[in-house]
Structure 1
Amino acid sequence: MGTLGRKALSGVIWSTAETFGTRVVNLASFLVLARVLSKEEFGLVALAGVYISFLELFVKVGVTDVVVQRKHLLDIEKDTAYWTAAALGVIAFAVSVLIAPIAAEWSNEPEIVQIIWWLAIGIIPLSLSRVQQGLLIRNLKFRSLAIRNVLSTFSGAAVGVTMALNGFGVWSLVGQQLTSKFVEFLVLYWVTRWFPALKFSKSSFQDLWHYSSRILGVNFLNFVASNTDRFLIGQLFGISSLGVYEIGRRIIEVIIDISRVTISRVAFAAFSRMQSDINRLVESSFFITRIAALIGFPAMGLFMFFGGEITILIFGEKWKEAGMICQIVALSGLVRLAVLTLPALLKAKGHPGSLLFSSAVQVAASVVMALALVSFGLQAFTLGWASGQLAFFVMLLYFTKRLINFPVKRLFVFYVAPLGAMLCSWVSVKALEGLYPESWLQLPYSVGIHGAVFTTLYLIFVLLFGFRAIKSVWVELDSLLVKGKKVPGADF
């Protein structure tokens, strides 16, 4: 196994441990906060977060991605990227001061002004650590990134929960976010020990901007896709409904983040190092896709079929309305997992423009469908918004086929076994319900019974339908773990 393969495997292991650990901590703190705080308080911070996330786009401006993607990174390029992000951070903070009163007027929520101002403070440490994060990812040092995220997440959760239990209300959510960002900033400087020189090159800036501007466009459209729904819900349905929506999508976003952050971040770094070898890129992508489908599809299936029960069990009866939201978001999550590696492939091969166009199509489709269904209520709006993922799915397949001659048909083969096993498991669970005692179908027992039976049946069905795919994954993983073996696709 090559050095890159060993580093990539180490990266996957550390990223998995980091992402799982941080998301579990976030979810645990969220459970406490959800039972202490009101729908309106969650809605206020969620709406304020839309404006802050928008400003953060211009701070990030693709700096981390361009540091990772460059074949040869010069010192002057690192310095230029750093000071560019720092300047944009100061500008973004100043803009937040100006837009906060406008946001309050639009939303008719005067309290949001102070929330935006305080959250905007977190933009400064974010802008001063973009290059450091890129350097760690570029060198596949995911252990250091894991330390950063774990420390910042634990610190933020501790502050947020402590403030909430002591009656700080909405400000506990603000304190949680600010604490996390400042701890991230301090740890990144500690682990990298990299500090910029007082140098800036106009030519380096122009060269970096050519790539990073397209990443900025992609990130902007991702922002629109991730936040326009919240903005529209806040305007069309009210702050309370936005709180319900946030709860409904939270668990699914945790699961998606575990997959996306763990796999996509490592994949992009590894793909960038092998960008000139198309065969290795394709086989490595297939290897990751098989794992994502076999594990991720049933995870989404659990929430698609039993999301209503799970939401009530975890968050309480007052969040019952969020159950259907959870199920719809899980359906869109299934589509997102199906093309998990394709954005990383396009970026690594230097085609961020195609990713930008795909994101634009997704946003347009989501907005059109959501507004078309808005009169039918919050659940229908959510379904319309989620349908935009299908457009993104189609566009990614089109561009990867056209630009890098990606064998799309082989990709669909990997979906058959997990999808078939998932559907058969659900049908079997429903058929077996008539055999259970009545008490087993009541919360909290129903969640445990349904989850255990669904998971057991999925393992049985996926072995029946996809034994060859599972065997292939096992052989490739074994090749990564045992030095000296090498299987095509495993040495990514």
Structure 2
Amino acid sequence: MLAESIAAACFSLLSMLVIGRVIGPHAAGTGTVAIAAFLIAELVVGSLFPDSLVRLAKLEQRHADSAATAAVLFGILGGAVVAALGPLLAREAGEPVIIWLALALAPLLPMAAFSGTASGLYVRDQRFRLLSGRLLLGQPVALAVGLGLAWTGHGPWAMIGAQAVSTLVTFLLMLRGGLGLRPRLDRAALADLWPIALPQIAAAVVQAGKYRLFLLALSILVVPGVLAVAHFAFRLVDAAVAVVWQTVSRISMARLCALQHDREALAERYGELAELQSMLALPICLGLGLVAPDMVALLLGPAWAGLGEAARIVACGAALTFLYGDTHSLFVALGKARRNLEIAAVTLALPLAALAIVRPHTAEGAALAWVLPSLALPPVLTILVLREIGRSPAWLARKVAPGVFAGLVMAAAVLLARDNLAAPPWATLLAEIAAGGVAWLLAAALAMRGRLPQALRTDRAPVAWRRREASRRGLREAGAGQGPG
């Protein structure tokens, strides 16, 4: 899981920076309009059933087949919607080529829908090595294709080509996974999945796809160049924190759902996961907030001025969202997926309202509107979580304290390195990163008293998983004549 998340972050960031530097802000902004529409539709069709398939207590083949079939049908519908939106987006952005970009992306949506549903089944079976192949294999190939198109003067088509290759590779890997899915629509099976699937997909569209909706709204207010700068700022931070979100959420969803009927054990696991999340995420957010302007200036040059400051604002706001644990997985485990939808709706409404009121014309102004939920919601979500698990604020503070301490020590080390070095920009940036990394390792070891976070220890596996493994061992022993009859 960690390898997949790191690869996703590195290749996503590398693809964005390298291709963006070659094609320039205007072409990148034009491609961003079509990509944003595609990613919103992909999020809908690809996230419809995975969580409900993971949580369902008794999963049968009819559930898997029906979920995959329904998702592909939704993917076909989503492709038609993206194609139909092309002329509207082209007119609003003043770029006719967006029509053809949207038409090229539309046929990819049924494949993305199948891949998303299959991933839920693979998560349930803990086939994480197969899942990691989507990125470890697909992203390098997609980057190579995108760069080839960029260097040959294809402008925004470089972004479309990279997206197409990534989607196709993922689809082929999921198809070859051996699940044996067949076209089938069983109404009773789908009825078992809808109570979680419907609120979760609505929440996913807003929560995971809110920045895409935000970009579409922002494209009406700003020129394509400013849109590209804002988009790259969001992606820069998202690529970094996605390492934590993806790794912790996959652990959380499986473990918390396995303990949904044991509130005491669930609360303890939630605290362990909150400790791990803060330990990993806070130094990433704070470190990115400190070095983003220098890094952007060195990698992209003066044409992307403003991206670094916008990324700094977004990164500092994101740090606050890692202080109260993985609420998304907790509410699914408790059977309150609708609460995720309510929270997601607020996180979308606040920045859109800020856009409508302030009407920013710079990337920094857009970033300030974007981080508004990160400032307003943490106290509310902390109260909700503590009520659900029956714990006190002091208990949660003790869980996240090691991560906060390590993050602050790292930030101090970066600032000291910056203020006391007289070196070329590249050398200074590398020294800041090295100083911050060493300081974080030492501070984390001190705060954790030399032990791994509890969430990473093997004796923290979910109860249901341990019982299943014990049962499998017993069956193997019985089959070999070594166990009881």
TM-score interval, smaller chain: 0.7 to 0.9
**What letter corresponds to residue 301 of structure 2 in structure 1?**
G
Determine if contact 1:152/1:179 at 8 Å carries over to the other structure: yes
Query: Could you say what the CA RMSD is over the residues aligned between the two structures, in angstroms?
Result: 2.6
Determine which of 27, 35, 59 is the counterpart of 2:21: 35
Q: Which residue of 2 aligns with 1:86?
A: 72
Q: 2:452 aligns with which of 466, 469, 473?
A: 473
- TM-score, scaled to structure 2: 0.88
Is residue 448 from structure 1 mapped to residue 430 from structure 2 by the alignment? Answer: yes
Contact 2:229 2:363 in 1 (8 A): no
Instruction: State the partner residue of 1:312.
Output: 297
Q: Aligned letter for 1:136? A: Y
Residue of structure 2 equivalent to 1:390: 375
Deviations 1:424-445 (A, max 9, x none): 55456546655433xx2x4112
Single out whichever of 63-72 and 291-300 deviates more from structure 2: 291-300
1:56 aligned partner: 42
Conserved? CA contact 1:136–1:192, under 8 Å: no
Percent identical residues:
21
Gaps of 5+ in 1: 1-14
1:62-461 matched pairs, under 5 angstroms:
62-196=48-182, 198-222=183-207, 225-375=210-360, 377-423=362-408, 425-427=410-412, 429-430=414-415, 435-437=420-422, 440=423, 442-461=424-443
Bigger drift between 161-170 and 422-431 goes to 422-431
Q: CA deviation at 1:375?
A: 4.6
- Provide closer, same or farther for how the CA distance between residues 173 and 141 of structure 1 changes in structure 2, counting only shifts above 3 A: same
Given that residues 53 and 223 in structure 1 are in contact (C-alpha distance below 8 angstroms), is that contact kept between their aligned partners in structure 2? no
Task: Give the letter aligned to residue 328 of structure 2.
Answer: P
Q: Is the 8 A contact 1:93 1:121 kept in 2?
A: yes
Alignment counterpart, residue 45 of structure 1, candidates 13, 31, 40? 31
Q: Which runs of 5+ in 2 are unaligned?
A: 467-485
Shift of 1:85: 1.0
1:447 positional shift: 0.9
Matched with 1:5 is: none
Distance of 1:259 and 1:101 partners within structure 2: 37
3-state SS in 2 of match to 1:192: coil
User: Secondary structure at 1:327's aligned position in 2?
Assistant: helix
Name the CA shift for 1:195/1:455 in 2 (closer, same or farther; >3 Å): closer
Q: 1:77–1:204: 8 Å Cα contact kept in structure 2? A: yes
Mark the CA change 1:470 to 1:349 in structure 2 (over 3 Å): closer, same or farther. farther
State the distance in 1 between where 2:111 and 2:417 align.
Answer: 54
Q: Is the CA contact (8 Å cut-off) linking 2:454 and 2:460 kept in structure 1?
A: no
Contact 1:343/1:396, CA 8 A, preserved across alignment: no
- Quick check: 1:335–1:390 contact (8 Å CA) kept in 2? yes
Alpha-carbon displacement from aligned partner over 1:174-201 (angstroms, at most 9, x marks no partner)? 11111111111111111234222x4322
How big is the shift at 1:132?
1.8
Distance 1:486 1:415 in 2: 18
- Per-residue CA deviation, residues 198-228 of structure 1 (Å, 9 max, x unaligned), is 4322233233222211112202222552223
Amino acid in the other structure paired with 2:427: Y
